[in-house]
Amino acid sequence: MVSADDFFFRGLNIPGNTSNPQGSVVTFATVDQFPGLNTLGISLVRIDYAPYGLNAPHTHPLASEVLLAVEGTLYVGFVTSNPGDPNIKYKLFTKTLYPGDVFVFPQGLIHFQLNVGKNNAVAFAGLSSQNPGRITIANAVFGSDPPINIDVLTKAFQVDANVIKYLQGQF
């Protein structure tokens, strides 16, 4: 039975634990944690960053994102989609955000945030889906199970197999 609790979420005021290799943590308020979002096409996250913490390059295949910097200084950016012409490079769009600044990441594009300050940083993001999905690029490419064939990755990244083995070993 549906109750008022299905339309309520508590916890975005609580700082997350950033003691991990990336120095960041995302607290999700998506349909999985917040059932009242079902069919509404929206969700929310809190992102905490340790000094120099990174929300690693990732994509949301099902949502655009609008990020609000609340504390600290964040270097943020996204890369355009495939330009279609092999002679045209992907374009990187970046900004440095301060408290109160907002930046938007279009749906499906690879994006990131890096805390460039000596203090903790906090941001909140709204997403245009109750279930935006998240694909962290390095984890997907180098940490899949089973692993992607080394021949595929050496050719794709044009590096020696030892580099690929090293990168796969990080995940």
Tokens 């003691």, located at residue: 19
In whole angstroms, what is the distance from residue 157 CA to residue 92 CA?
19
Is 58 annotated as contributing to ligand binding?
yes
Do residues 61 and 133 lie in contact, with contact meaning Cβ atoms separated by under 8 Å? yes
Collapsing DSSP to helix, strand or coil, 30 comes out as coil
Is 71 annotated as contributing to ligand binding?
no
Is 65 annotated as contributing to ligand binding?
yes
In whole angstroms, what is the distance from residue 14 CA to residue 124 CA?
12
In whole angstroms, what is the distance from residue 21 CA to residue 50 CA?
10
Tokens 């916890």, located at residue: 11
Is 13 annotated as contributing to ligand binding?
no
Binding-site annotation, residues for Mn(2+): 58, 60, 65, 111
Instruction: Give the residue ranges of the annotated binding site for oxalate.
Output: 55, 60, 65
Annotated binding site: 55, 58, 60, 65, 111
